[in-house]
Chains A and B, each alone.
Chain A
Amino acid sequence: MENTKITLLHHPSDPVLEADLLQVHLALMEATLLAPDDFEGVIRRCGAEDLTACGTGKDEVLSSVEEYVRLIARSKAQLPLGLAYHYENLNIRIVGEVALLDGVIDLSFALAEERVHMNTRLSAAYQRKGQSWKAIHVHLSFPSSEQAEGESWPIDVLKARNQELEEKVARRTEELRTSLEKLKNTQTQLIQAEKLASLGELTAGIAHEIQNPLNFVNNFSEVNAELLIELKEEIIGGNTAEALILAEDIHQNMGKIVHHGRRADSIVKNMLQHARQPSGEKEFVNLNALVDEYLRLSYHGLRAKDKSFNATMETDFDEAVGKVEMLPQEMGRVLLNLFNNAFYSVVEKKRVLGTAFKPILYVATKKTESGIEIKVKDNGMGIPEEVLAKIYQPFFTTKPTGEGTGLGLSMSYDIVTKGHGGSMKAHTKEGEYAEFDILLPA
Chain B
Amino acid sequence: MNILVVDDEQDMQLLFEQRFRKEIREKQMRFAFANSGEEALAYMRAHHHEAVLILSDINMPGMSGLELLQHIKEKYETPPPVVMMVTAYGDEENYNNAMRLGANDFLTKPLDFSLLRDKLKTQLHD
> Could you say which residues of chain B place their CB within 8 Å of the CB of A214?
110
Count of CB-CB pairs between chains A and B under 8 Å: 54
Which among B61, B64, B111 has the greatest number of chain A C-beta atoms within 10 A? B61
| Given A208-B88, A211-B109, A307-B94, residue A312 in contact with residue B61 (CB < 8 A) | yes
Chain B positions 49 through 72: 1 when the CB is less than 8 Å from some CB of chain A, otherwise 0: 000000000010111100100000
B94 near A220 with CB under 8 A, answer no
- Beyond A300-B59, A313-B62, whether A260 also contacts B11 by CB under 8 A is yes
B89 and A212 form a contact (CB under 8 A): no
Find residues 25-81 in chain B having any chain A CB closer than 8 Å to their own CB.
59, 61-64, 67
A223 pairs with B19, CB closer than 8 A: yes
Contact with A along B1-17 (1 / 0, CB 8 A): 00000000101001100
A281-314 at interface with B (beta carbon < 8 Å):
299-300, 303-304, 307, 310-313
Can you list, as one digit per residue, whether each of A303-338 has a CB less than 8 Å from chain B (1) or not (0)?
A: 110010011110000000000000000000000000
A218 within 8 A of B: yes
Q: How far is the CA of A219 from the CA of B97 in the complex (A)?
A: 28
Main secondary structure of the interface of A (DSSP, over half): helix
Closest to A295 in B: B61
A256 at the interface (CB under 8 A from B): yes
Question: B61–A299 contact, CB under 8 A?
Answer: yes
Is A106 an interface position by the 8 A CB rule?
no
Bound complex: CA of A300 vs CA of B88, how far in Å?
11
Alpha-carbon distance between A60 and B94 when the two chains are bound, in angstroms: 96
**A215 within 8 A of partner (CB):** yes
Selected contact of B18 from candidates A208, A218, A249, CB within 8 Å: A249
Give the interface SS of chain B, mostly helix, strand, loop or mixed: loop
| A252 within 8 Å of B (CB atoms) | yes
Which of the listed residues A212, A252, A311, A312 has the most CB atoms from chain B within 10 Å of its own CB?
A212
Known: A215-B110, A310-B64, A312-B61. A220 touches B15 (CB 8 A): yes
Nearest-Cβ distance from residue A150 to partner chain B, whole angstroms: 86
State whether B62 touches A312 (Cβ < 8 A): yes
**B118 on interface, CB distance cutoff 8 Å:** no
Give the interface size class of chain A: 20 to 34
User: Are A223 and B18 within 8 A (Cβ)?
Assistant: yes
A-B contact pairs, 26 of them (CB 8 A): A208-B59, A208-B88, A211-B109, A212-B9, A212-B88, A214-B110, A216-B9, A218-B110, A219-B110, A219-B111, A219-B113, A223-B15, A223-B19, A253-B14, A253-B18, A256-B14, A299-B61, A303-B89, A304-B89, A307-B91, A310-B64, A311-B61, A312-B61, A312-B62, A313-B61, A313-B62
A residues with a Cβ closer than 8 A to B are: 208, 211-212, 214-216, 218-220, 223, 227, 249, 252-253, 256, 260, 299-300, 303-304, 307, 310-313
Chain B interface residues toward A at CB < 8 A: 9, 11, 14-15, 18-19, 59, 61-64, 67, 88-89, 91, 93-94, 97, 109-111, 113
Task: Kindly list 20 other residue pairs between chains A and B, CB separation below 8 angstroms, not including A216-B9, A216-B11, A220-B15.
Answer: A212-B88, A215-B109, A215-B110, A215-B111, A218-B110, A219-B113, A227-B18, A249-B18, A253-B14, A253-B18, A256-B14, A260-B11, A303-B89, A304-B89, A307-B91, A307-B97, A310-B62, A310-B63, A311-B61, A313-B61
